[in-house]
Amino acid sequence: MKNKILLALATIIANIIVWLVPVPEWFKALFTIVSVYYSMNVLLPKEHSLFKKIFIAIFIFVVLSWLIPTGNLATNKIEVADTTTRIGIWNVFNIFTASVSSFSIYGLFLIAVGAFYIVLNHTEVYQSIVEGIAKKTKKKPVLFVSIVIALFAILSSVTNIGLILFMFVPFIASIIYKMGYDKYVAASATIGSIIVGIIGSTLGYYISYVINSTLSLDVTSNIIAKIVLLVLGTALLIVYTKKRMSKITSKKSIEVKIENEDMLYTEVEKTNKKKNKLPMIIIMSILLVLTLISTFSWSVAYGINIFSDFHDKVLEVPVLMDVLGRSMTVGYYSQYGVNALGSWDYIDIIISLVLATFTIALIYKVKFKDIAKSFGDSVKKFIKPAFLIILAYTLFILNYYVPVFTTIISYFGKSFNIVTSGVVAILSSIVNVDMMYVAQGSLATVNAVIGKSALTPILALLYQSFYGLCQFVVPTSTLLIVLLCYFKISYKDWLKYIWKLLLELLILILVTLIVLMLI
C-alpha cells in the first residue's frame, strides 16, 4: 500500500514538473498519458481493467483539450477556435453528474432485468423450465445455438431494441450453461449476435434509420449490402461459436477450461410438490411479444400505423387512460404517459418488467421481503456495469461541450477513403458512444466537409459497420460493458477469444465497401 501511495505522489509531482518546464506541448501530453496509464495499471487490480480503460480514454480527451482547440461545423467547413478550452478536474466531475442524470436509465433497466430473474428463481418453476429446455436442446446443441444467434441478429437488425435485448440474455445463457457449454459460447450467441445485427442493421431505428435520416437518405438505402453484412456476419459468428463448442465437447481437447458463473440462476433442491408452469410461460411469452411489438418502428420503418391508431383510440377512453397514464404538463415540464406500441423506450420496458415481476411473485406466492431482497441483490450485481456506462457517456458529454473531436475530423476527414474515414468512424464510436450521437455529430460533419453526395450512401454504410465492429472491443461500448460484467470475462481474455472473428468481420466489411465503390 505504501509503495502505491509513493507511486501516485511521484506521478503527480513528475507531471507538475513536466508541465512547468519549457518542453514541446506534445511531449508534455505524451508523458502525462503514459505515466498516468502506467500508474493506473499498477494501482488498480486486474478486475477493474475496464474502468481503467474508460478512465484513460476520458483522461486522454482531457489532455487533448489542453492542446487542441475546439471546432464547429459552419456550412461545409470546420471552423477551429483560436484558443484551447482546457477541461479541468471540476469540469469532469460536473459532466459526470450530468451523465448520471441523463444516462442512469440504462442502469435502472439492468437492475429491473436482474430483479425479474431473481424473483423467477424464487418460484422454483423457472429452474424446471430452463432444465427442461436444456435437456431437449442438448441433443442438437449446434442447431439450437445457431437459431439463437440468427434470431438475436435479425431482431437487432430490424428493431429499435439494442441493449433492450439483454432482457432475454440471462434465460438463453442459463440454457447454454445447462447444455454444458461455457460463458464464451453464451456471450457469443447472445450479445455477440446483437452486435452482428448492428453491423448489418437494416431497418433498426437507432442505427440504420438514424444514419439515413441524418444524411437525408432513403430508408432502404444500401439495403442489399446491409442484408449481405447481416447474413454473412451471422454465418461467420455461427461458425466461430461452433468451433468453440467443438473444443468443449471434444474428448481430445484439454485447452478449454469451463469457468461459468451464472449471475441470475440459482440451483434449488427438487421437491415433490409440483407447481404449475403455465402462468410463468404465459407471462414470459406476453413480455416477449409485447417487447418485440413495442420496439419495432412500425410507423417510421414500415409505414404501418395500426398501433399508433390503436393508441389514439385508447386515448379516447377516459378511465382507461387515466389508469394507464396520459401525457401531462406541469409548469414548464412535460411528462409522457403510456406510449404507442412501436415507440416504447427504456422507461416503458422497465415498467413492464416491474409489473411482470410483481405478477409472477403474486401468482407463485413469493414473499414481499424476498421481492425487496431481489431488487437489492440486483442493484449489487449491476451497479458496476451501470457505473461504467455512465462513465462512458461522460466522455461523450465532454466532447459535446468541448468539441475537440470536430477539430480532429478537420485533420483526417476532408476527403473520403476507407482507411482515414474508417479511423475517424472508430474514434467517433469511442468518443460518442451511441450511434445517434455518432451520426448527428461526427458523420454529419464528415459528410458536409466531403461534400460529395455520390459518396454519402457508402459513408453511411462505413459508419454503421465500423460502429458495429467497435461494439465488440471499444471500452466505451455499452454492450461490451454489459457482456464483460455479466459473463465475468476480463477485457484481455475477451480480446484473446474474439480477435479472429473481428478480423473476419473486418475483411467482410472492407470487401462490401469496395464492391459498393466499384459499382
Assigned C-alpha cell, 77 = 467547413
**Phi and psi dihedrals of 334, rounded to 5?**
-105, 135
Residue 325: how many CB atoms within 10 A of its CB?
A: 12
pLDDT, position 254: 46
Instruction: Report pLDDT digits (tens) over 59-115.
Output: 888 888 888 888 877 777 777 888 888 888 888 888 888 898 888 999 999 999 999
For the residues of 227-239, what is the DSSP string, one character each?
Answer: HHHHHHHHHHHHH
Residue with cell 421437491: 271
Strand 328-330 to strand 333-335: parallel, antiparallel, or no bridges (unpaired)?
antiparallel
pTM (2 decimals)? 0.87
pLDDT, position 344: 75
Q: Which candidate, 238, 239, 132, 116, places its Cα nearest to that of 169?
A: 116
Q: Say if CB 31 and CB 66 are below 8 A apart.
A: no
Instruction: Report pLDDT digits (tens) over 17-29.
Output: 766 667 666 566 6
pLDDT, position 399: 86
Q: Which candidate, 414, 346, 386, places its Cα nearest to that of 73?
A: 414
- Cα gap 6→514, rounded to integer Å: 53
pLDDT, position 392: 92
Q: Say if CB 505 and CB 225 are below 8 A apart.
A: no
- Cα gap 237→241, rounded to integer Å: 6
User: What are the boundaries of each domain within the chain?
Assistant: 90-297+342-518
Estimate the share of the chain in helix, then strand, then coil, as percent rounded to the nearest 5. 75, 5, 25
Look at the chain and count its residues: 519
Strands (E), 103-223: none
Radius of gyration of the chain (CA): 24
- The 3-state DSSP class for residue 330 equals strand
**Triad 17, 21, 24: Cα angle to 5°:** 115
Strand 328-330 to strand 77-80: parallel, antiparallel, or no bridges (unpaired)?
unpaired
Q: Please list the pLDDT of the chain residue by residue as tens digits (519 residues).
A: 566 666 666 766 776 776 666 766 656 666 666 666 666 666 566 666 788 888 888 888 888 888 888 887 777 777 788 888 888 888 888 888 889 888 899 999 999 999 999 998 888 888 888 888 999 998 899 999 999 999 999 988 887 667 888 989 999 999 999 898 889 999 999 999 999 999 998 887 778 888 888 888 887 788 899 999 999 999 999 999 999 988 888 754 544 555 566 777 777 666 666 778 888 889 888 888 888 777 776 666 666 777 666 666 666 666 666 666 666 655 544 456 666 676 777 888 888 899 999 999 999 888 889 889 989 999 999 999 999 999 999 999 998 888 888 888 877 656 677 888 888 888 888 888 888 888 887 887 777 777 666 678 888 899 899 999 999 999 999 999 999 999 999 888 999 999 999 999 999 999 999 888 887
pLDDT, position 252: 47
Residue 139: how many CB atoms within 10 A of its CB?
A: 9
In this structure, is the dihedral angle defined by the CA atoms of residues 172, 178, 179 and 184, taken in order, positive or negative? positive
Note the Cα 15 to chain centre separation in Å: 35
For the residues of 348-372, what is the DSSP string, one character each?
Answer: HHHHHHHHHHHHHHHHTT--HHHHH
Residue 290 carries which side chain, given as an amino acid letter? L
Q: List helix spans (H) across 124-222.
A: 125-137, 141-158, 169-178, 183-187, 193-199, 210-214
